[in-house]
């Protein structure tokens, strides 16, 4: 081992292709879909589905390793699945984060299956994403009364022993891609949602389980789609479950309440993998904003004189340089966190730190970018104002900046949730 910062070859190879996608398929449609909230970008979805089937790229979780006899003549390469995803997400979100969020595939739903399901379940639920039609899955965790405080989820799952089915009841909000995952659409394959519910309301976290609920299940309804500050291309659904029945084997994790909080920890482990990826999405947006600012400044004859002491810099130069420091360091923290994930190193701390930093800096960078560009920054003639609105979500979903600070603090202090509330 040694310290290195060269993107692995397969990553470098995919980046130019992704950049073309970002420019041709995303940037050109960004404004349209921002102004036509809830319209589905079928062209983009179909294109991405075909492209991803061809390349094997897919959900938020890297592909399962194939069980092949190792070739002793081939040098062993360390896995780079999450690193590859981070790069991919960053580039696609540099194109458009709202559209990226409707990229077909398993998303957080598949990531939850990936991290908590047994092999049989994985085979059953994940195969569909490689099939002919683009297919979506979503994670249903948040409730009106349980945001970051996921342990106070009220949705229930009761086992109907006679029919060997789970009966789910509750209301889920803020479900990203919820509509595409659960409402049948002729152009899409059969999707699913992963619903978090308690199998024993008295058991607290120990009773928390996730259930795969297939598209078209009776009793599951999309109540509304949210109108948002940004990422308008992405549908954010409220979903109700009214006596919705799923087969017994759709439970992810143990069907009985144990003293441990393993089920809950399964959900949290998903976040260790996905938090740096969320940081990567925001970093893509922030990079777009920073590049735009530098381009416009250059057009107006303003060059950034790197290397000067601050005393000699103009205010704009200082701002731009500070933005670059923020962006680069946040990106490297993200890479570090996914590198750890790929190499099986526990990364709860680094994962949350990358999200804290990422959420912070992309918000600051896009805010500053709009300010520096003045009326041009505020104008909908350019995408900058949109990127300001889009970037903000980075500091909110997958655990707000504050929740992630709490996670970081507990890690560095060695405190449990009870010791540091």
Partner 1 sequence: MYSFEPSDEQKMLMDAASRYAANDLRPAGREAEEGKELPLKLVNKGWELGLLQASIPEAYGGFGDRSAVTGVLAAEALAFGDLAGALAVGTPGLFALPILLAGSEEQKQQYLMPVIEAEWKPYTAALIEPAFDFDPNDLRTTAEAKGGDYLLTGEKTLVPYAEKAEAMIVYAKLDGVTKGFIVPKGAAGLSFGAEREKFMGLNAIPFQRVKLQAVKVPAANLLPGDFAPLLAAQRVAMAAMAVGLARAAFEYARDYAKEREAFGVKVAQKQAIAFMLAEMATEIDAIRVLTWEAAWMLDTGKEEAFKEAYLAYTGAVDMAMMVTDRAVQVLGGHGYIREHPVEMWTREGRGVAMFTGLAIV
Q: State the catalytic residues.
A: 398
Q: At what angle do helices 384-391 and 348-373 cross, to 10 degrees?
A: 150
Shortest distance (Å) from residue 352 CB to partner 1: 9
Helix (H) or strand (E) holding 174: strand 165-176
- Report the alpha-carbon distance of residue 148 to residue 156 in Å, rounded: 18
Residues binding partner 1: number (CB under 8 A): 47
- Report the alpha-carbon distance of residue 395 to residue 388 in Å, rounded: 12
Residue numbers 358-417 binding partner 1 by CB under 8 A: 402, 405-406, 408-410, 412-413, 415
Q: Which stretch binds partner 1 (CB under 8 A): 1-9, 42-50, 208-216, 219-227?
A: 1-9
CB 373 within 8 A of CB 17: no
Helices (H), 22-106: 28-35, 42-55, 81-100
Q: Is the dihedral of CA 192, 193, 194, 200 positive or negative?
A: negative
- Report the alpha-carbon distance of residue 57 to residue 54 in Å, rounded: 8
Cβ count near 370 (within 10 Å): 21
Options 30, 59, 83, 150; binder of partner 1; rule CB under 8 A: 83
Options 243, 314, 332, 380; binder of partner 1; rule CB under 8 A: 332
Cβ count near 377 (within 10 Å): 22
Q: Which stretch binds partner 1 (CB under 8 A): 49-57, 233-241, 266-274, 324-332?
A: 324-332
Shortest distance (Å) from residue 358 CB to partner 1: 10
Residue 321 as a binder of partner 1 (CB under 8 A): the answer is yes
Cβ closest to partner 1, residue 179 vs residue 357: 357
Cβ closest to partner 1, residue 30 vs residue 351: 351
Cβ closest to partner 1, residue 17 vs residue 308: 308
- Report the alpha-carbon distance of residue 284 to residue 96 in Å, rounded: 9
Residue numbers 257-316 binding partner 1 by CB under 8 A: 306-312
Which pairs count as long-range contacts for 369-373, CB under 8 Å and 24+ apart, including other chains? 369/289, 369/290, 369/292, 369/293, 369/323, 372/293, 372/297, 372/316, 372/319, 372/320, 373/292, 373/293, 373/296
Options 356, 372, 383, 384; binder of partner 1; rule CB under 8 A: 356
Q: Which stretch binds partner 1 (CB under 8 A): 3-11, 62-70, 201-209, 257-265?
A: 3-11
Residue 357 as a binder of partner 1 (CB under 8 A): the answer is yes
Cβ count near 218 (within 10 Å): 9
Residue 135 token pair: 């297919």
Residue 153 as a binder of partner 1 (CB under 8 A): the answer is no
Options 61, 141, 283, 330; binder of partner 1; rule CB under 8 A: 330
Residue 254 as a binder of partner 1 (CB under 8 A): the answer is no
Cβ closest to partner 1, residue 32 vs residue 306: 306
Which residues are near partner 1 by CB under 8 A? 1-8, 78, 80, 83, 306-312, 321-322, 324-325, 328-330, 332-333, 335-336, 339-340, 350, 353, 356-357, 402, 405-406, 408-410, 412-413, 415, 419-421
């Amino acid at each position: 081992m040694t310290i290195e910062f060269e993107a692995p070859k397969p990553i470098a190879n995919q980046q130019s292709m992704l950049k073309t996608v970002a420019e041709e398929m995303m940037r050109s449609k960004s404004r349209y879909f921002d102004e036509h909230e809830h319209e589905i970008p079928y062209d983009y979805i179909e294109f991405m589905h075909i492209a991803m089937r061809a390349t094997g790229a897919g959900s938020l979780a890297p592909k399962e390793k194939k069980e092949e006899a190792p070739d002793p003549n081939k040098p062993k390469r360390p896995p780079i699945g999450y690193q590859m995803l981070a790069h991919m997400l960053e580039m696609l979100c540099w194109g458009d984060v709202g559209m990226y969020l409707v990229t077909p595939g398993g998303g957080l739903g598949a990531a939850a299956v990936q991290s908590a399901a047994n092999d049989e379940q994985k085979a059953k639920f994940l195969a569909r994403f490689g099939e002919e039609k683009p297919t979506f899955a979503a994670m249903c965790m948040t409730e009106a009364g349980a945001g970051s405080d996921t342990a106070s989820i009220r949705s229930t799952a009761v086992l109907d022993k006679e029919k060997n089915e789970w009966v789910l009841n509750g209301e889920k909000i803020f479900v990203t891609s919820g509509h595409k995952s659960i409402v049948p659409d002729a152009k899409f394959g059969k999707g699913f949602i992963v619903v978090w519910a308690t199998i024993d309301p008295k058991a607290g976290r120990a009773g928390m389980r996730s259930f795969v609920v297939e598209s078209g299940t009776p009793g599951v309804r999309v109540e509304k789609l949210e109108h948002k500050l940004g990422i308008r291309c992405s549908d954010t659904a409220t979903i109700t479950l009214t006596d919705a029945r799923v087969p017994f084997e759709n439970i992810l994790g143990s069907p009985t309440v144990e003293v441990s909080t393993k089920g809950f920890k399964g959900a949290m482990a998903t976040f260790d993998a996905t938090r740096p990826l969320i940081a990567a999405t925001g970093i893509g947006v922030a990079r777009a904003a920073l590049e735009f600012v530098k381009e416009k400044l250059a057009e107006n004859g303003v060059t950034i004189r790197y290397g000067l002491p601050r005393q000699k810099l103009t205010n704009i130069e200082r701002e731009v340089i500070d933005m670059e420091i923020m962006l680069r360091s946040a990106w490297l923290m993200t890479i570090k966190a996914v590198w750890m994930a790929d190499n099986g190193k526990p990364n709860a701390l680094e994962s949350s730190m990358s999200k804290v930093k990422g959420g912070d800096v992309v918000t600051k960078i896009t805010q500053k970018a709009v300010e520096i560009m003045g009326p041009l920054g505020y104008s909908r003639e350019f995408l900058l104002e949109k990127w300001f609105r889009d970037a903000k979500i980075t500091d909110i979903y997958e655990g707000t900046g504050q929740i992630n600070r709490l996670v970081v603090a507990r890690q560095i202090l060695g405190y449990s949730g009870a010791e540091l509330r």
